[in-house]
Structure 1
Amino acid sequence: MPLDGPALAKALPQAEGLQTVHNLLCRHEAVHFQRAAKAAAVAGEQLLVGCTQEKRLFLELNAQTEGALPAEEQPIRFVNLRESGGWSKDARQAMPKLAALIAAAQLPDPDPVPTVSYRSAGRLLVIGAAEAAERAAAMLADKLDVSLLLSDVGSALPQVRERAVHAGRLTGLSGWLGAFQVRWDSANPIDLDLCTRCNACVDVCPEGAIGFDYQIDLGRCTGHRACVKACAVAGAIDFNRATESQSETFDLILDLRPAPAFSQHALPQGYFHVGADAGKLFDAVLKLRELTGEFEKPKFFQYKQKICAHSRNERVGCDACVQICSARAITSELATTGGIRVEPHLCVGCGACTTVCPTGALSYAYPDAPTTAKRLRTLLTTYARAGGRDAALLLHSQGAGSRLLGELGRAARTDADTHGLPARVLPVELWHTASVGLELWLTAKAQGASQVFILLTDEEAPEYRAALAEQAEVANTLLAGLGYAGVHVQLLEARDARDLAALDATLRSALPASVVRLAAAFAAQSEKRATLELALEHLVAQAPQALPEAIALAAASPLGSINVDTGRCTLCLSCVGACPSAALADNPDKPQLRFIEKNCVQCGLCAGTCPEDAITLQPRLWLADAGKARKQARVLNEAQPFACIRCGKPFGTLQAVEAMLGRLAGHPMFQGEALQRLKMCGDCRVIDIYSNPSEVRITDL
Structure 2
Amino acid sequence: MTTRFKVCNCNRTMPLDASAGSALGAALGTQALPVASQLCRREVGAYLDTLQGSDQVVVGCTQERALFSELAEQRETTAPIRFVNIRETAGWGAQAKQALPKIAALLAAAALPDPEPVPSVDYVSNGSVLLIGPSSRVMPWAKRLSAQLDVSVLLTSGFGGEAMLERRYPTFSGQRIRIAGWLGAFTVRWQQSNPIDLELCTRCNACIAACPENAIDLSYQIDLTACTSHRDCVKACNAIGAIDFGRAASEREKAFDLIFDLCDQPLITLHQPPQGYFAPGEDVVRQAEYALQLTQLVGEFSKPKFFTYKEKLCAHSRNRKTGCNACIDVCSTAAISHDGDHIKVNAQLCAGCGACTTVCPSGALTYAYPRASDLGQRLRTLLGTYRKAGGRQPALLLHSQERGAELIVALGRLAGTGAAQGMPARVIPVDLHHVAAVGIDVWLSAIAYGASNVLVLLTDEEAPQYIDALEHQIGIAQTILSAFGYEGRHIDLLRAASALELDSELQRPRPASVPAEAAVYHVTADKRATLDFAFGHLLDHAPVRATDIPLPAGAPYGAVAVDTSACTLCMSCVGACPESALIDNPSLPQLRFIEKNCVQCGLCEKTCPESAISLRPRLLLDERATQRVVLNEAEPFHCIRCGTPFGTLQMMDNMLAKLATHGAFAGNLDRIKMCGDCRVVDMMQNKQEMSILELKR
Which range, TM-score by smaller chain?
over 0.9
Corresponding residue number in structure 2 for 1:622? 620
Cα deviation digits, residues 65-100 of structure 1 (max 9, x gap) = 25x22xxxx431111111111122111101111111
Q: Structure 1 residue aligned with 2:215, among 203, 209, 213?
A: 209
* 1:153-168 pair list within 5 angstroms: 153-168=159-174
SS state at 2:36 partner: coil
| Larger displacement relative to structure 2 (637-646 or 418-427) | 637-646
1:353 and 2:351 are equivalent in the alignment: no
1:421 and 2:423 are equivalent in the alignment: yes
* 1:87-98 pair list within 5 angstroms: 87-98=92-103
* 1:107-118 pair list within 5 angstroms: 107-118=112-123
* Alignment CA distance shift 1:392-1:210 (3 Å): same
Q: Which runs of 5+ in 1 are unaligned?
A: none
* 1:551-700 pair list within 5 angstroms: 551-623=549-621, 627-672=622-667, 674-693=668-687
1:9 and 2:12 are equivalent in the alignment: no
Q: Hey, what's the Cα distance between the residues in 1 that align with 2:502 and 2:290?
A: 30
1:373 and 2:376 are equivalent in the alignment: yes
Corresponding residue number in structure 2 for 1:280? 286
Corresponding residue number in structure 2 for 1:183? 189
Corresponding residue number in structure 1 for 2:483? 481
Cα deviation digits, residues 510-542 of structure 1 (max 9, x gap) = 111111111110001221111111111111111
SS state at 2:672 partner: helix
Asked if the contact 2:407–2:502 (Cα under 8 Å) also holds between the matched residues in 1, the reply is no
Q: TM-score normalized by structure 1?
A: 0.92
1:55 and 2:68 are equivalent in the alignment: no
SS state at 1:509 partner: coil
Q: Hey, what's the Cα distance between the residues in 1 that align with 2:242 and 2:361?
A: 60
SS state at 1:363 partner: strand
Q: How far apart are residue 232 of structure 1 and its match?
A: 5.6
Q: Percent identity?
A: 54
* Alignment CA distance shift 1:145-1:595 (3 Å): same
Q: Hey, what's the Cα distance between the residues in 2 that align with 1:577 and 1:482?
A: 36
Corresponding residue number in structure 2 for 1:513? 512
1:320 and 2:326 are equivalent in the alignment: yes
Asked if the contact 1:689–1:696 (Cα under 8 Å) also holds between the matched residues in 2, the reply is no
Q: Structure 2 residue aligned with 1:103, among 108, 116, 123?
A: 108
- Pairwise CA RMSD: 2.0
Q: How far apart are residue 219 of structure 1 and its match?
A: 2.1
1:26 and 2:36 are equivalent in the alignment: no
Q: Hey, what's the Cα distance between the residues in 1 that align with 2:684 and 2:355?
A: 59
Q: How far apart are residue 324 of structure 1 and its match?
A: 0.8
Amino acid across the alignment from 2:59: V
SS state at 2:35 partner: coil
* 1:127-146 pair list within 5 angstroms: 127-146=132-151
Q: How far apart are residue 197 of structure 1 and its match?
A: 3.3
Asked if the contact 1:130–1:157 (Cα under 8 Å) also holds between the matched residues in 2, the reply is no
* Alignment CA distance shift 1:232-1:585 (3 Å): closer
Q: Hey, what's the Cα distance between the residues in 2 that align with 1:441 and 1:508?
A: 20
Corresponding residue number in structure 1 for 2:391? 388
Amino acid across the alignment from 1:663: K
Asked if the contact 2:483–2:544 (Cα under 8 Å) also holds between the matched residues in 1, the reply is no
* Alignment CA distance shift 1:564-1:695 (3 Å): farther
Corresponding residue number in structure 1 for 2:125? 120
Cα deviation digits, residues 583-637 of structure 1 (max 9, x gap) = 11122222222111111100001111111111100111124xxx23212222211
SS state at 1:692 partner: helix
Corresponding residue number in structure 2 for 1:543? 542
Corresponding residue number in structure 2 for 1:294? 300
| Larger displacement relative to structure 2 (460-469 or 125-134) | 125-134
Q: Hey, what's the Cα distance between the residues in 2 that align with 1:26 and 1:359?
A: 50
Q: Hey, what's the Cα distance between the residues in 1 that align with 2:319 and 2:231?
A: 63
Q: How many residues align?
A: 674
Q: Hey, what's the Cα distance between the residues in 2 that align with 1:323 and 1:149?
A: 32
Runs (4 or more) in structure 1 with deviation over 6 Å come to: 694-697
Asked if the contact 1:131–1:157 (Cα under 8 Å) also holds between the matched residues in 2, the reply is no
Corresponding residue number in structure 2 for 1:529? 528
* Alignment CA distance shift 1:230-1:37 (3 Å): same
Q: How far apart are residue 225 of structure 1 and its match?
A: 5.6
Q: How far apart are residue 215 of structure 1 and its match?
A: 1.4
Q: How far apart are residue 306 of structure 1 and its match?
A: 0.9
Corresponding residue number in structure 2 for 1:400? 403
Q: How far apart are residue 451 of structure 1 and its match?
A: 1.2
SS state at 1:562 partner: strand
SS state at 2:190 partner: strand
Amino acid across the alignment from 1:77: R
| Larger displacement relative to structure 2 (549-558 or 261-270) | 549-558
SS state at 1:113 partner: coil
* Alignment CA distance shift 1:227-1:665 (3 Å): closer
Q: Which runs of 5+ in 2 are unaligned?
A: 1-13, 692-697
* Alignment CA distance shift 1:210-1:534 (3 Å): same
